[in-house]
Amino acid sequence: MRVPLSWLKDYVDIKVSPEELAHILTMAGLEVEAIEYIGKDWGDKIITAQIIHLEEVPGSDHLSYTRVITGTQELGVICGAPNIKQGDKVPLALPGARVGDITIGEARKMGYVSQGMLCSPRELGLGNDHSGIYILDPDTEIGLKLRDVLGEVVLEFAIKAHRGDLSSVIGIAREVAALTGQPLRIPQPVLHEQGTPAEEMVKVTIEDPDLCPRYTARVISNVKLGPSPGWMGRRLLAAGMRPISNIVDIANYVMLEFGQPLHTFDYDLVPDHHIIVRRAHEGEELTTLDDVRRKLTPDMLLITDPQGPTAIGGVMGGAKSEVNDQTTTILLEAANFQAASIRRTSVTLGWRTDASSRFEKGLDPELVIAGTNRAVQLMAELAGGTIHPDIVDCYPKPAQRRTIPFSIDEVEWLTSMKVTQHEVVEALSALGFEVIPDEQGKTMLVTVPTYRGDIEEGADLVEEVVRLIGYDRIPSTIPTGPLPEPMTDHWFEREQEVRALLIGAGLNEIITYALTSRTRMLNLLAQVDAASAQFLLQAPVGASTSAQ
């Protein structure tokens, strides 16, 4: 997961270098795989400029001739991108600038002299989008070095499967705050609601609460689709996502910020405005947002309306109710899905999305409210939407917070590290645990936050305490106590004797792969009932490993 450092600083003050921060986090169990410095190779000749004139190049079906100003000079540049217009502020590579492996020079083309190049996001190393020129914020000053405008430091993390709470910028910020002793700042949206309450506009039915513990819906009307502001687009690009439109970008932004995947429906395209969460029926199919017709199986969780499927829960939306240029009212989904169900569906479909990768790790059901409130706040600010009062919240079995009796003696017993009650309380409290210590100075009751579903017992709390205090405080000790008697495994000994006898008789031992192809299995079992002597995998990695 990619986390821009400037985004991280919105939630916690960072007073150390990126390298030192990466070391602190890695030593506490959050592996930083890489540090990327966006813009470090741009040099002084890639600057900000403004297009003041634009005309088509005669004889070309796609080239345009632009006049751009940099504050000190006016230049002519040939460009083939379709997304630029007069007044746009853009990145300009001057002659002599190096973009990737290319040195930009002055060139003559179709009767025009091109004195540089306007740059796309991919050419700048800001993602893979090469469909158009990178458009800067309208208020960007011209003539600045681009690295001073778009330069960024990005930390790339390897998130472990059991730490779904770290699949967000705020989740990482919480760890940084705990490890550095800085306060954590979480956005608290201020919502101005008006109009018909959402409960009168939307109905939600959960038929399988085991696979969908919680489903919420909000309504935002009068939205205007358009491009996202530059600050949001820059953050999405730095995090590895391509900006699309303000509504889609807001959903992606909140997913990256809070870790809560969201889905937007066109409210007017949902029949009866009724959302039904259920398993797929045999033979059902759905055309997803990537325009692929997908066959569904009964173990898949669907988001449906009274007429049929409209999305694959936690994986991908359907095409029939997607937000489009004519959309004015949004039905916003924020839900919690069972991790194993989403993982199974992703494997069966062969399709893993940013949303499914988060649900697979297990998410906090309490996170949906924070995510949906943040999203509607941004939709009101950036898309002019009207937030309707209330949230339709189906939550049949609210999550219960786990309370664990704990003693500081457990830390010493498992690690030989001596700690005080104050150190333990301080470490756990910094991570969001509620701690009630006793007066004797050793034991306490620890209430686990709902976002830490991986904490189940005292040993888990020991790990949290030790990684925050520092693994370097664990003393080096020689094992003490009596050594256990070795257990005798008679079957293993007999197996070793038989193996030695057979090898001594000139035989060779081979170890075969457990999985093979169906064709090879049928050839091997030609003399027996092949149908009853083999197992076929439902979702094999490939044809060569489809049978056992």
Query: Are 368 and 261 in the same domain?
Result: yes
- Asked if the structure places residue 94 within a domain, the reply is yes
When mean pLDDT is compared across 205-214, 314-323, 443-452, the lowest value belongs to: 314-323
H-type helices in 13-156, by residue range? 18-27, 146-150
Asked whether residue 29 falls in the same domain as residue 127, the answer is no
Residue 468 and residue 178 in contact, taking contact as beta carbons nearer than 8 Å: yes
pLDDT digits (tens, 9 = 90+) for 522-547: 776 655 555 555 566 666 666 666 66
Residues 238 and 385 in one domain: yes
Last residue of one domain, picked from the residues 374, 394, 414: 394
Answer yes or no: is 31 within a domain: yes
| Whether 241 and 383 share a structural domain | yes
- Residues near 331 by Cβ (< 8 Å), separated by ≥ 6? 202, 217, 218, 219, 264, 265, 266, 267, 270, 273, 275
pLDDT digits (tens, 9 = 90+) for 426-440: 999 999 999 999 888
CATH number of the domain where residue 225 is located: 3.50.40.10
Same structural domain for residues 323 and 443? Answer: no
Residue 478 lies inside a defined structural domain of this protein: no
Q: Are 353 and 315 in contact (CB under 8 A)?
A: yes
Each residue's pLDDT tens digit, 490-509: 899 999 999 999 999 999 98
Indicate whether 30 belongs to any domain. Answer: yes
The answer for residues whose C-beta is within 8 angstroms of residue 412's C-beta and 6 or more apart is 418, 419
**28 shares a domain with 172:** yes
Residue 189 domain flag: no
CA distances for 357 relative to 163, 316, 354, 362, angstroms? 12, 12, 5, 9
Number of structural domains (the chain) is 5
* 129 backbone dihedrals φ, ψ, rounded to 5°: -75, 120
Q: In this structure, are residues 461 and 428 in contact, taking their beta carbons and an 8 Å threshold?
A: yes
For 418, counting Cβ atoms within 10 Å of its Cβ (0-12 exposed, 13-18 middle, 19+ buried), the class is exposed
Check whether residue 310 and residue 225 sit in a common domain: yes
Of the residues 337, 361, 394, which one is the last residue of a structural domain? 394
Boundary-marking domain end, from 473, 497, 530: 473
Calpha distance 298→278 (Å, rounded):
10
The pLDDT of residue 529: 56
Q: Read off the pLDDT of each residue in 141-167 and give the average, rounded to a whole number.
A: 93
- pLDDT higher than threshold 60 for residue 37: yes
Q: What is the pLDDT of residue 333?
A: 96
Residue 358 has pLDDT above 70, yes or no: yes
Q: In the chain, pLDDT over 90 holds for what percent of residues?
A: 75
Angle, alpha carbons 514-519-520 (nearest 5°): 50
Distance, CA of 50 to CA of 405 (rounded, Å)? 64
**One domain for residues 155 and 203:** no
- Give the CATH number, domain containing residue 440: 3.30.56.10
CA dist 413 and 425 (Å) reads 18
Same domain, 462 and 490: no
The model's pTM: 0.84
Asked if residue 138 is part of any domain, the answer here is yes
Query: How many whole angstroms separate alpha carbon 74 and alpha carbon 81?
Result: 20
Distance CA 456, CA 162 (A): 12
Mean pLDDT, range 372-380, rounded to an integer: 97
Same domain, 371 and 265: yes
96 pLDDT higher than 80: yes
Range of weakest confidence among 8-12, 43-47, 542-546: 542-546
**Which domain covers residue 234, as residue numbers?**
198-394
What is the per-residue burial (b if ≥16 Cβ within 10 Å, else e) of 387-417? Answer: bbebbbbbbeeeeeeeebebbbebbeeebeb
Does residue 211 fall inside a structural domain?
yes
Whole-number Å distance between alpha carbons of 108 and 114: 6
Query: Following CA atoms 193, 194, 198, 199 in sequence, which dihedral angle do they give, to the nearest 10 degrees?
Result: 110
Radius of gyration from C-alpha coordinates of the chain: 29
**Which residues have a Cβ under 8 Å from the Cβ of 29 and sit 6 or more positions away?**
467
> Does 275 lie in the same domain as 297?
yes
Q: What separation in angstroms does the CA of 481 have from each of 242, 478, 484? A: 59, 10, 9
CATH number for the domain spanning 125: value is: 2.40.50.140
73 occurs within a structural domain:
yes
* Residues 298 and 248 occupy one common structural domain: yes
Compute the residue count for the chain.
Answer: 548
